[in-house]
Structure 1
Amino acid sequence: NRYVIPIKQEYRHAFPGIVHDTSASGSTLYIEPLAIVNANNDLQSARIEETREIERIFRRLTAKVQQQYTELYDSTLCVGQLEFIFAKAQLARQMKACRPAVSKTRQIKLIRARHPLIDAKYVVPNTIVLGGDYRILLITGSNTGGKTVSMKTLGLLVLMHQAGLFIPVEESSELPVFRDVFSDIGDEQDISQNLSTFSSHMKQLVYILKHCSPDDLILADELGSGTDPAEGSAIAIAILDSLYQKESYVMVTTHYNDLKNYAYNTPGIENGHVEFDTETLKPTYKLRIGSAGSSHAFSISERLGMPKSVLEKAKDLRSKAQDMDMEKVLTQLNAQAKKLDEEQAELTYRLKEARKLEDDLRREKDKVTSKRQDIIDASRRDAVDLKRSLRIEAEKIIRELKAQTKETLTDREKARAIEQARRAIQQISLPEAEKPHRDPIDRSQLKVGQQVFVNTLDSIGTVEDMGSKQLTVSLRGMTVRVKFSDVSAPYLDELKKEKQAEKKAAASSSYRPIRSSRVATELNIIGKTFSEALPDVERFLDQALAAGFSPVKIIHGKGSGALRRQIHAFLDDQPFVKKYQLDDVDGGGAGVTLVYF
């Protein structure tokens, strides 16, 4: 931290100053001139003061931080947790992962699982199911076909799930929680420890057999390999049998046919294989559970460039082996299974397209029906308005006709003409709304408490009793008896509307009964003509019907009987009138009509 000047050795006495250092060769000296010694001292003092000031600032800041230690520590932990959560979320989005359900039946069900470290553009998703009817899954198939990748996929996804990470599977996937995950994958041979390939595998498997439990997952690659095939397959079967007794969840890979036969003949152990396309001589990396697969060593060797003469010799030797027939059967079975899967996928796609087309057609039909109904409703409203205006106009014409014919016609002829005109007006009918076609309900499927649509009443009701020919149906407070042919199955939208109407009615009823004190039970029209009395009669009947009175009296007097006959003819046209009759002698006799609703 002091400024110096490099001076050649021979000029050191000509340059007064303090020597601080020499060069590596010794020919150059680094001298601080006496003229700047004091300046260097001042500079060094300033540096020391600067260092002390920095320390003082740090101490003051440290003291302030110390006062907020707890808050800062907690904030740091929170920031770390948030950072970890966001990192997990970002990873889940990159992998298009989801959260699997925790299996209540302790079954592994990974739907379209993808290896998390393989590029999403190239990874082949596979469905892995383990548990339930079997707890040991034996994977066979060709080399480079994806057996080990499938096993690693299961192990990685289980560990990711138990670490709180989302995993790259479909939404309906399930995973249990394991106590431990044991794996024997890869070659752990070590010359320094005198471990061969086989002995390294055995060391791992011995440890697994000693420590595994029913709540553990065990992954073993190439079980029994690295030694004599006969002895290796025997040891592998014994290990699988021991793991089966311990009830652990196990996934192993192998090429041994003895293990394939063992899995076929042992309940609780299932075969699986990775596909190999014999036409392209390449693996498809598809895992198929339910059948064993061939190793396809000849096909792979041919693809890798093995001389044809060597392959022909190998095939000749292989054809003499005892288990050659099994290899042919496996090849044929796997080809058939692949073809069936492709056909199933095609059928599933076609069914999906057909359902989509059906939904589109149904929506279009609903739109057309709704539009058609809107047109019909609008036409009916116009017709009602037209009928109302016609009736008003007709009444006006009748009044004018009555005024004009006072002198030329008798009262009876005049009343007859007016009545004929009024009846012609009343006969104007409106088109009925077209009801949708309904399929009749199956009588054998009907039961008490079931909701049905009553065609004659255009409403939904609940079956209360079933007779031999009729049903008793409760319908919005009423109990009616209908024929079996008069009911049909309600549509879903009708059931929804019915529930909404019931909830709305239960929440707040808008019905207000007519106060009976304001409604008369009899009407006196003596002295009036039929045309003058008709509005009063209509209003009186409407109010009595709404108030629930039955019967009610219409007092029309005896006279010539013309008014009585006109009133009776009017009552014949009213659908809500059940019957009518003259009152007894004490009540008025022929001058009073009792009306029953």
Structure 2
Amino acid sequence: MNERVRRVLEYDKMKEQLKNHVASTLGRKKVEALEPFTELTKAEEELNRTEEGAKVLRLRGQAPLGGITDIRAHLKRAEIGGTLNAGELLETADTIYGGRRMKKFIEMMVEEEIELPLLAELAGPIAPLSDLEREIKQSIDDHGEVLDAATPALRSIRQRIRGMEADIRSKLEQMTRSSQQKKLSDAIVTIRNDRYVVPVKQEYRSSFGGIVHDQSSSGATLFIEPQSVVTMNNQLSESRVQERREIERILKELSERVQGAVDQLLENLDYLAELDFLFTKAYYANQLQASRPHLNGSRRLRFKEAKHPLLDSGEVVPIDVELGTTFSSLVITGPNTGGKTVTLKTVGLLTLMAQSGLYLPVEEESEAAVFSNVYADIGDEQSIEQSLSTFSSHMTNIVEILDYVDKESLVLFDEIGAGTDPTEGAALAVSILDYVYASGARLVATTHFSELKGYAYNREGVMNASVEFDVETLSPTYRLLIGMPGRSNAFAISRRLGLGESIIEAAESEVHEDTRQVENMITSLEEKKQAAEDELNEARKTREEAEQLHRELEQKLQEMDRKKQDVISSAENKAQKELEKARAQADDIIKDLRELQKEGHQVKEHELIDARKRMEQAAPDLSKRQQQIKKQADSERTFHPGDEVKVLSFNQQGQVLEKKGDKEYQVQLGIMKVNVKADDMEKVKQEPVHQPSRPVTNVSANNSVKPELDLRGVRYEDAMQKVEKYLDEAVLAGYPQVHIIHGKGTGALRKGVKELLNKHPSVTEARDGGMTEGGIGNTVARLK
């Protein structure tokens, strides 16, 4: 794609917006080098990367890319044996830390079974280089200063320097407080040329001796190093030289350590640049509230609710555009300032963004195509330097486009044929459009010419479109109407502005009969379209009311079912109590009969046994009823794709898309797709009956109890239930102590586990894990 097309479609302006989200110059350089891909597989791969970045931001809010710097220049100097200064070494250490932190961040998400294969591929090879970072940080502080603790020699030198400075200042301060004070301009000790001096009045210069290092602008004050401290200052200077040499030696050694890791550091930078660029695209998608388009190699465009990314999203009117389905050319007609050029630029820029692996400001299920070339002739390109008129400039661009256009191209023409005689311009525009259509390219063109309004009606594969204009308000609505050619509206606008009716009628009589017929046809089409839209809106309203009524009925049915179950449960409980009472009375009677039997009365044993057996058989088996109720409840927690459900934690309704795991489903909530546990949902629409194709086998869980319980990734409420159940099982298993692994995280889960253990009657002691037991990420509980 040439520079001119990037400019007219504002691709470079879009990249400037993208740069606002980079974390380092590494990402900035990747953005600057960004170009649309012409291969479908490559564009798909980049979109996959953007999708993973967007997933991370959705789940975590941000990615830890701070502290990373482009240190390639530092590494190049270290590689040839140069010595890096303290600031450059500190940037190197910070970049190592930033890379290791990013690697750990991705690994932790993968451990939580979040699918990030492309991010894991980029973060996995990053070398930790912990030893090198630690050596640098132990020698250089956060302000880029070499620390005293860097070496014992440096600590000793600096201690000596501080002692000498204290001695010199003490000696000079005694002088400022002695009888010599009146000979000083000010009773202070200052520094000139790295040596301690005192400010002496000019007339007392000979009273101090020593060395003059400076004087005031007026010459009234001399800054003199008294003879009594010259030797001490000399010793201090020598110590400072030793300090500089030791610092240079330390920096040299650290630079040699960096030199040994240059290859690994350069490789780390490559991966970090890719990661920074990936998350830059994800942050930009968030800013635009964008979604992923479906890419295709069929040169098919279908943008739903599309917005130009450079315009204010709160003010721009979304448009629906399609191309390459039933028609391959779209001709947009209508007045100026109606939004035709914005529509053209939106189609072109969104196509280039999709081919660059970026999300688009469109609704979900939108489609974008991958073209080998995108050509555009947009705007007034009149060139004074080349003595070209507007028409000549446009034709120069069009000629160049027609030389290269083919079936793998997207062509955008703005006001084709404009700038010359209308009759000749319209004829030329028709011929150019026919040539592009015959080449198989996809075409979007805008025009003023009324002759082109009938162009689409006479050619298969070409569709008319217009930008809506409100005659009542004399302003465009910016809505794109596909299938509807644009009206000139000149006479209607003139009437609204108060032009005399006689003048307008005279003008209308001058219009050719064919033109009037076309305008009348367009008016009729607009009226029919408006009537169809009104009917559609009414149908939608009726459907929404019906759906609301259906939802209310569903809720009432569910409420009735719940009440029914409550009544049944209450009756069964009452019956169970009566049964137990009857059994107790029967036992008393049988006991009395046995007593009579002992006293000699004729009561046969087998009759007593038979009576007990008949009584037990007569009792209803409530356990079976309870099992049926439980089975029914479990079935209500089973969902299928298409089921309408209410997600309790979000208090929002959605639709089940697919099953993701054991008792977990992917649900569409508005524009979001989220994974939800079955126990966090309830049906709001009756589930269709499915006949099982094969018998269902119940698989029982393994009852073995392990000496540790891993709660990482478990929600707080579920975790508390798991801990209580686990403690009971561990006590029965006879464990003297168990480990509750909850991780560090925000600390909420650790606090909750500690509080539960402290209250539990079977726990005698709860403590944090030791150094070899996972630290504060693990709580050890001793059991009774």
Q: Distance in 2 between the 1:342 and 1:364 partners?
A: 33
Report how far residue 140 of structure 1 moved: 1.5
Q: Distance in 1 between the 2:614 and 2:264 partners?
A: 93
Q: Distance in 2 between the 1:262 and 1:115 partners?
A: 28
What is the CA deviation profile of residues 163-207 of structure 1, one whole-angstrom value per residue up to 9, with x for unaligned ones? 222110011111111111000111222233232222222222222
Report how far residue 253 of structure 1 moved: 1.0
What is the CA deviation profile of residues 127-150 of structure 1, one whole-angstrom value per residue up to 9, with x for unaligned ones? 111112111011122321111111
Partner of 1:383: 575
Equivalent position SS for 1:183 = strand
Q: Distance in 2 between the 1:366 and 1:234 partners?
A: 68
Partner of 2:530: 338
User: Does the C-alpha gap of structure 1 residues 306 and 149 become closer, same or farther in structure 2, counting only changes over 3 Å?
Assistant: farther
Report how far residue 379 of structure 1 moved: 1.3
- With the length of structure 1 as denominator, give the TM-score of the two structures: 0.57
Equivalent AA in structure 2 for residue 129 of structure 1? E
User: Does the C-alpha gap of structure 1 residues 189 and 317 become closer, same or farther in structure 2, counting only changes over 3 Å?
Assistant: farther
Question: Is 1:98 paired with 2:98?
Answer: no
Partner of 2:461: 268
Partners of 1:298 and 1:311 within 8 A in 2: no
User: Does the C-alpha gap of structure 1 residues 82 and 429 become closer, same or farther in structure 2, counting only changes over 3 Å?
Assistant: closer
Within 5 Å, give how 1:20-419 maps onto structure 2: 60=252, 64=256, 66-103=259-296, 105-299=298-492, 312=504, 315-319=507-511, 321-387=513-579, 389-391=581-583, 393-394=585-586, 396-397=588-589
Could you say which structure has the greater relative contact order, defined with CA pairs below 8 angstroms and 6 or more residues apart?
2
Report how far residue 333 of structure 1 moved: 1.2
Q: 2:696 aligns with which of 480, 483, 502?
A: 502
Partners of 1:293 and 1:331 within 8 A in 2: no
Aligned-residue CA RMSD in angstroms?
4.7
Give unpaired runs (5+ residues) of structure 2: 1-192, 194-216, 226-236, 630-685, 703-784
Q: Distance in 1 between the 2:324 and 2:416 partners?
A: 20
Equivalent position SS for 1:275 = strand
- The aligned length equals 405
Equivalent position SS for 2:385 = helix
Equivalent position SS for 2:415 = coil
Q: Distance in 2 between the 1:299 and 1:63 partners?
A: 79
What is the CA deviation profile of residues 256-294 of structure 1, one whole-angstrom value per residue up to 9, with x for unaligned ones? 233222201211111111111222222111111122121
User: Does the C-alpha gap of structure 1 residues 350 and 419 become closer, same or farther in structure 2, counting only changes over 3 Å?
Assistant: same
Partner of 2:120: none
Report how far residue 371 of structure 1 moved: 3.2
Q: Distance in 2 between the 1:80 and 1:426 partners?
A: 78
Partners of 2:414 and 2:446 within 8 A in 1: yes
Q: Distance in 2 between the 1:60 and 1:78 partners?
A: 28
User: Does the C-alpha gap of structure 1 residues 331 and 422 become closer, same or farther in structure 2, counting only changes over 3 Å?
Assistant: same
Equivalent AA in structure 2 for residue 223 of structure 1? I
Larger-gyration structure (1/2): 1
Q: Distance in 2 between the 1:364 and 1:346 partners?
A: 27
Q: Percent identity?
A: 37
Equivalent AA in structure 1 for residue 484 of structure 2? S
Q: Distance in 1 between the 2:327 and 2:513 partners?
A: 31
Q: Distance in 2 between the 1:92 and 1:301 partners?
A: 44
Equivalent position SS for 2:448 = coil
Partner of 2:213: none
Equivalent AA in structure 2 for residue 236 of structure 1? A
What is the CA deviation profile of residues 448-492 of structure 1, one whole-angstrom value per residue up to 9, with x for unaligned ones? xxxxxxxxxxxxxxxxxxxxxxxxxxxxxxxxxxxxxxxxxxx74
Within 5 Å, give how 1:568-583 maps onto structure 2: none
Report how far residue 356 of structure 1 moved: 4.3
User: Does the C-alpha gap of structure 1 residues 95 and 346 become closer, same or farther in structure 2, counting only changes over 3 Å?
Assistant: farther
User: Does the C-alpha gap of structure 1 residues 248 and 104 become closer, same or farther in structure 2, counting only changes over 3 Å?
Assistant: closer
Partners of 1:380 and 1:430 within 8 A in 2: no
Equivalent AA in structure 1 for residue 696 of structure 2? E
- With the length of structure 2 as denominator, give the TM-score of the two structures: 0.45
Q: Which runs of 4+ in 1 moved over 6 A?
A: 401-407, 409-412, 418-433, 498-501
What is the CA deviation profile of residues 483-518 of structure 1, one whole-angstrom value per residue up to 9, with x for unaligned ones? xxxxxxxx747649x69981425999xxxxxxxxxx
User: Does the C-alpha gap of structure 1 residues 67 and 400 become closer, same or farther in structure 2, counting only changes over 3 Å?
Assistant: closer
Equivalent position SS for 1:191 = coil
Report how far residue 327 of structure 1 moved: 0.4
Q: Distance in 2 between the 1:212 and 1:411 partners?
A: 111
